[in-house]
Structure 1
Amino acid sequence: MIEVEGLTKRYGRHTVVDDVTFRCEPGTVTGFLGPNGAGKSTTMRMICGLTPPSAGRATVAGRPYRDLPNPGREIGVLLDASAQHVGRTGREVLAVAAQTMGVAPGRVPDTLGRVGLNPTAAGRRVRAYSLGMRQRLGLAYALLGDPRGLILDEPANGLDPEGIFWMRGLLRDFADRGGTVLLSSHLLREVEAVADRLVVIGGGRVVAQGDRDDLLSGAGTLVRARDPDALRAALGAAGLDATGGTDGGLLVAAPAGVVGQAAADAGVALTELRPAGSGGLEQIFLALTAGTSVQEAVR
């Protein structure tokens, strides 16, 4: 299990990650989504002990990552496919990793084959690898220790459509055998196809999370107002459950007419009101994170 509780990261006055909380259960793929600058990579780095949090904590298998005696045997990590020794061959990269983790040397060729790097590719220097090949090598590194979990940041970058389809099957099989996967990606349709649960962040905060089917069921309304606090108060007064979005956006588990009436009764002016679900994950993602990528880029 991967568990994140109230993770917060501040750089001076700027808060990059703000009170992020979620859990990744064994046997599931959790899609971790958000626009550029939303705090996804920083959150993953805090889980893996690379960035110290300003507040909160994260655990893997019940312990902080830094306290794991042999982390590669517990959790496989791929945060940056370019962070590899370009002077080594793919086979040498994994051989060194196998020695470090105490893994049998025989797992090296098996793992390379599992990610689609044949003996010819494995014998090339990493500097000659395409981005897609480096992604496959990075995934092989993550899988080498036969871990119970995977943390992957944009693992499909550089893969062609066939490679993306292959990765989807690999991650689905890993989870179906009891593994835990935390997957960050901008390829929303691929995440929608493989993920069991979704966590969406915008502006450093969780704006929606839950089972994929529940979030995409369409049983709800997307609503936005110039005064999001007043809108949330109006919905709460009407007994309506809402999942917080940014830029005034909320996902409400009620028909559009009921939501609109609650806002009207409270005198809240709406800028958007429409049924959710017809556009799938892409529509909900855009509605919940509208404006955050621009805000983060300006910062």
Structure 2
Amino acid sequence: MIEVDRLTVTYGSTTVVKDASFSCRPGTVTGFLGPNGAGKSTTMRVLCGLTRATSGTATVNGMRYGQLRNPAREIGVLLDPTTQHSGRTGRENLTVSARMMGVTKERVEDMLELVGLGGAPAARRVGEYSLGMRQRLGLAHALLGEPNILVLDEPVNGLDPEGIHWMRGLLREFADGGGIVLLSSHLLREVDAVADSLVLIQRGEIIAKGNKTDLLTATGTVVRAVDQAQLSAVLSAAGIPATRTEDHAFIADAQAETVGRAAAEAGVVLLELRSADSGGLEEMFLAMTRDTSNDDTSNDDATNDAVREPQS
């Protein structure tokens, strides 16, 4: 079980994560999404014992990471594949970790085979690996201790389409076996394909969380009119919150019938009226984060992450 409870992280006067709360339950893949610098990496680093919380908690199976007797046997972590020792071979990297975890050499070989690095690739120095190979080795390391939880930050970065498909299947199988996966990725289609639940973070605050299907069906109505200025005035007068999209439509926080009636009563000619969920995860993500995703002055962790931790 992963539990993040009112987590806050500050660097000096900058609040990177603010009062964040969510949980990840057995048998599920949770997609952790947000713009660059939103606080994803910081939250995951607190969960994995790499960053100190200012207040609140992030626990694994009811305990903070530092309290776990043998953390790698309970939580597998892949936050940055470039941190592996480049002078050692893939097999040597895993073997050193295996000794620390108390797992067998046979487990090392099994994991190398599982991620497609068995045979000759295992004997190559990691410094000669491509980014995709480093990702595979990182996943092998995360799985090495036979944990029931995986925390992965951009695990498909550098993988080819075949590798992405393989990763998706592996994570789905892990969760279907009762495991927990917390997955951060900018590839929204991949998250959409594998996630059961979603957590969206923006400017350090959780702005949406829950079952993926429920969230996608609660994203409002896309509406477009011949006269968008008139439509904007009608929505405002009707008390219907709306966000303008990049293609100059509106996403209204109301059912299509409510929006259509308000427009009809005002004589507004509509060109488009449909549920926003038909655009899937990508449209929902953009709708929820559009207002600040390009705001260079936002109070987020972009600068802090670049200095202190891997950028999410």
- The two structures have a TM-score, normalised by structure 1, of 0.84
Q: Secondary structure at the match of 2:112?
A: helix
Q: d(CA) in 1 for partners of 2:102 and 2:2?
A: 23
Q: In structure 1, what is the equivalent of residue 284 of structure 2?
A: 284
Q: In structure 1, what is the equivalent of residue 75 of structure 2?
A: 75
Contact conserved, 1:219 with 1:255, CA < 8 A, in 2?
Answer: no
User: Computing the radius of gyration over CA atoms, which structure comes out larger, 1 or 2?
Assistant: 2
Q: d(CA) in 1 for partners of 2:168 and 2:119?
A: 23
**Following TM superposition, by how much is the alpha carbon of 1:294 offset from its aligned partner in structure 2, in angstroms?**
2.2
**Following TM superposition, by how much is the alpha carbon of 1:293 offset from its aligned partner in structure 2, in angstroms?**
3.0
Aligned pairs for 1:9-24 (under 5 A) are: 9-24=9-24
Q: In structure 2, what is the equivalent of residue 54 of structure 1?
A: 54
Q: Is the aligned partner of 1:36 residue 2:36?
A: yes
Tell me the matched-pair count. 274
Q: In structure 1, what is the equivalent of residue 26 of structure 2?
A: 26
Q: In structure 2, what is the equivalent of residue 209 of structure 1?
A: 209
Q: In structure 2, what is the equivalent of residue 156 of structure 1?
A: 156
Aligned pairs for 1:119-268 (under 5 A) are: 119-217=119-217, 220-221=220-221, 252=253, 254-258=254-258
**Following TM superposition, by how much is the alpha carbon of 1:258 offset from its aligned partner in structure 2, in angstroms?**
3.1
**Following TM superposition, by how much is the alpha carbon of 1:87 offset from its aligned partner in structure 2, in angstroms?**
0.3
**RMSD of the TM alignment (CA)?**
2.9
**Following TM superposition, by how much is the alpha carbon of 1:260 offset from its aligned partner in structure 2, in angstroms?**
8.5
Contact conserved, 2:115 with 2:137, CA < 8 A, in 1?
Answer: yes
Contact conserved, 2:251 with 2:276, CA < 8 A, in 1?
Answer: no
**Following TM superposition, by how much is the alpha carbon of 1:259 offset from its aligned partner in structure 2, in angstroms?**
6.2
The structure showing larger relative contact order (alpha-carbon pairs under 8 Å, at least 6 residues apart) is: 2
Q: d(CA) in 1 for partners of 2:72 and 2:259?
A: 48
Ranges of 4+ aligned residues in structure 1 off by more than 6 Å: 259-262
Amino acid at match of 1:122: A
Q: Which runs of 5+ in 2 are unaligned?
A: 224-235, 243-249, 263-272, 300-312
Contact conserved, 2:252 with 2:259, CA < 8 A, in 1?
Answer: no
Shift in alpha-carbon separation, 1:5–1:260, aligned structure 2, 3 A: farther
Contact conserved, 1:222 with 1:287, CA < 8 A, in 2?
Answer: no
Contact conserved, 1:19 with 1:205, CA < 8 A, in 2?
Answer: yes
**Following TM superposition, by how much is the alpha carbon of 1:291 offset from its aligned partner in structure 2, in angstroms?**
3.6
Q: d(CA) in 2 for partners of 1:37 and 1:173?
A: 30
Q: In structure 1, what is the equivalent of residue 293 of structure 2?
A: 293
**Following TM superposition, by how much is the alpha carbon of 1:275 offset from its aligned partner in structure 2, in angstroms?**
3.1
Q: d(CA) in 1 for partners of 2:21 and 2:218?
A: 25
Amino acid at match of 2:158: G
1:58-96: CA deviation from partner (whole Å, max 9, x where unpaired): 110110111000000000000000011000000000000
Q: Point out the more displaced range, 200-209 or 187-196.
A: 200-209
Amino acid at match of 2:130: S
Q: Secondary structure at the match of 1:158?
A: coil
Shift in alpha-carbon separation, 1:8–1:274, aligned structure 2, 3 A: farther
Q: Secondary structure at the match of 2:49?
A: coil
Shift in alpha-carbon separation, 1:20–1:298, aligned structure 2, 3 A: closer
Q: d(CA) in 2 for partners of 1:94 and 1:193?
A: 30
Contact conserved, 1:37 with 1:293, CA < 8 A, in 2?
Answer: no
**Following TM superposition, by how much is the alpha carbon of 1:292 offset from its aligned partner in structure 2, in angstroms?**
2.7
**Following TM superposition, by how much is the alpha carbon of 1:257 offset from its aligned partner in structure 2, in angstroms?**
4.8
**Following TM superposition, by how much is the alpha carbon of 1:10 offset from its aligned partner in structure 2, in angstroms?**
1.2
Q: In structure 1, what is the equivalent of residue 112 of structure 2?
A: 112
